[in-house]
A and B are shown apart, each in its own frame.
Chain A
Amino acid sequence: MKRPLAVLLVLVVAHVAGIHAMARWRLMESLLAPNARLPVAAAIGFLLARFALVFLGPGLVILAARELFRKRAARFHEEAPSS
């Protein structure tokens, strides 16, 4: 997990965009109606992004914080004058 913050941001953007798309075009109905021709893939994609954000989001936040802390610690060591 090299880029937790980037993954988190992608999920958040996909989720927010998806919520507005779902509200505007009612994509979910394509899942509930077997004969519908509405874009089922978009609805499934949104749900997957939402599930990923809800289930993995907290872990990604912790990983991103850890990454940030690690980078700052490394920078601190680099900048510290050697004795």
Chain B
Amino acid sequence: MTTRARRLAASLLILLLPAAFFPACWCGRDAGRWFRGDREMQMALARHVADETLGGISVKDFKTGSSLFDAEWAFGTYQMGALGLAQVIREHPEMRAELLPALEACLDRLLSPGLAEFDARSWGEHPLESLDGDKGHAAYLGYVNLALGLHRAIAPESRFRDLNDRISAALEHRLLASPIRILETYPGERYPVDNCAVLGSLAIHARLGGRDCPAVADALAAWDLYVDPASGLLYQAVDGSGKPADSPRASGTGLGAFFLSTGGLPLGRELHAAIRRSCGSGFLGFGMVREYPRGSAGSGDIDSGPVPFGIGFSATGFHLAGCRSAGDEAGFRALYRTAHLVGTPLDGGGRRNYVCGGPIGNAILLAMLTAPRP
């Protein structure tokens, strides 16, 4: 080996060797604080999310190229913002006075005609003005009701209490009337993940009322139909007879597990374990979640985000909540490193902005990083 070749080899070694340990240490330096529920850490992101939601985010702020997806993202920003803010208040009740106005602003926006329009247009009826009807509206009503339930848990005198009761009654009635115990999100479209939000919201409502919820017990008894026996993941979509209409995927399963855990339903932890078993992946200490179970592959879509090398953006982010809810600190640390690397936090003025996430990414991260611990 010539001197030049030896020098080049030494330079490459120096260049690459620190990559084996330094990036994981650097990107994971906040992971422990997030896992333990450090107040300053949570408040920095909560303040940023509160600023963005109080500032007002509309459908026009998103440019996905699809008016339906733009509306869903605006809706998702407020829903995840509401869940995250409610979880921070639940973990740090002394922050209630500061965060409650932003949380209630999120709820007001979720209930506004502009954000319900995407659902109303698909169904031909407004979801809140047709609660006596029998159409599903699983996503809109389930997601809104989950946020209303969490708000009610921290503000029992809530002005949204009556609406929470009425939506819960409508969802219970519709679930019991459904032969396959699954509600439609849009006409002819059934997504187990949206029904997880329905179940989680009903479980919270029943718990706050100190009663059992037969609709939830009934639906969970039929839930095996919607879980892939090989991977343990939820099918992303099912047809009118309950048969799979899409593959089992980690993005839907991760979000569904979060909704179920929020409602205190044990199925959430089972789904978390299935994701870890079937889709868990990692590189140099950075945790990742495959969108499709090992041994199968597919493309990404609006739910999963891009799927480079089989790794799902959304699935990886959603699984943070599963790890925190299950008390899985090692898994949480590994996934947080990836979220930190890709999310790119920018701190200033007592606030933290994950600049790559935008408003919806920050709201989702707040909800996932503050998911209830066991």
Q: Which residues of A come within 8 Å of B, CB atoms? A: 1, 19, 22-23, 26, 28-29, 31-38, 43, 47, 50-51, 54-56, 58-60, 62-63, 66
B binding-site residues for A, Cβ under 8 Å: 8, 11-12, 14-19, 22-23, 26-27, 62-66, 69, 300-302, 305-306, 313, 341-342, 344, 346, 353, 355-361
Across the interface, B358 reaches (CB within 8 A) one of A1, A28, A51, A66, namely A28
- Let me know if A33 and B69 touch, CB within 8 A: yes
CA distance A50 to B22 in the complex (A): 14
The CA of A58 and the CA of B16, in the complex, are separated in Å by 9
Q: Which residues of A contact B16 (CB under 8 A)?
A: 56, 59
> Which single member of A22, A37, A51 contacts B65 (CB below 8 Å)?
A37
Please indicate the chain A residues that have their CB under 8 angstroms from the CB of B69 in the complex: 33, 35
Query: Measured between C-beta atoms, what is the minimum distance from A21 to chain B in Å?
Result: 9
Is B302 in contact with A33, judged by CB distance below 8 angstroms? yes
- Docked-complex contact A51 and B341, CB < 8 angstroms: yes
A66-B12 Cα distance, complex, nearest whole Å: 13
- CA separation between A23 and B69, bound complex, in Å? 21
Q: Is B344 within 8 A of A50, CB to CB?
A: yes
A18 to chain B, nearest CB (A): 8
Query: A15 CB to closest chain B CB, in angstroms?
Result: 9
Chain B nearest CB from A48 CB (Å) reads 12
The smallest beta-carbon distance between B12 and chain A, in angstroms, is: 8
Q: Which of A23, A33, A47 contacts B342 (CB under 8 A)? A: A47
Which of A28, A47, A54, A60 sits near B23, CB closer than 8 Å? A54
Chain A, interface SS category? helix
By the criterion CB–CB under 8 Å, are A19 and B344 in contact? yes
* Complex: A37 Cα to B63 Cα, angstroms: 8
Taking a contact as CB atoms under 8 Å apart, the answer to whether B356 and A28 are in contact is yes
Contacts of A56 in B (CB 8 A): 15-16, 19
Q: Which of B14, B62, B346 is in CB contact (< 8 Å) with A29?
A: B62
The complex places the Cα of A36 from the Cα of B313 at a distance, in Å, of 17
Which residue of the partner chain A has the closest CB to B358? Answer: A26
Q: Which 3 A-B pairs have the closest CB atoms?
A: A35-B65, A33-B64, A59-B15
In the complex, what residues of B have CB within 8 A of residue A32's CB?
64, 302, 305-306, 313
Please, which residues of chain A bring their CB within 8 A of the CB of B302? 32-34
Partner of B64, one of A23, A35, A55, A59: A35
Of A29, A50, A55, A62, the contact of B63 (CB 8 Å cutoff): A29
Known: A28-B356, A29-B64, A31-B306. A63 touches B11 (CB 8 A): yes
In contact, B19 and A55 (Cβ under 8 angstroms):
yes
In the complex, besides A1-B15, A33-B64, A34-B64, 9 extra interface pairs with C-beta distance below 8 angstroms are A23-B353, A29-B62, A31-B306, A33-B62, A37-B63, A51-B341, A56-B16, A59-B14, A66-B14
Provide the residues of chain A in CB contact with B18, threshold 8 Å.
58-59, 62
Could you tell me if A23 and B346 are in contact, using CB atoms closer than 8 angstroms?
A: yes
CB-nearest residue of chain A relative to B7? A1
Collect the chain B residues with CB atoms within 8 Å of residue A1's CB.
8, 11-12, 15
Neighbour of B66 across the interface among A22, A23, A35, CB < 8 A: A35
- Please give the distance in Å from A27's CB to the nearest CB on chain B: 8
Q: List 14 A-B contacts (CB under 8 A).
A: A1-B15, A19-B346, A22-B355, A23-B353, A28-B356, A31-B306, A36-B63, A38-B63, A47-B342, A50-B344, A54-B23, A54-B341, A56-B16, A58-B19
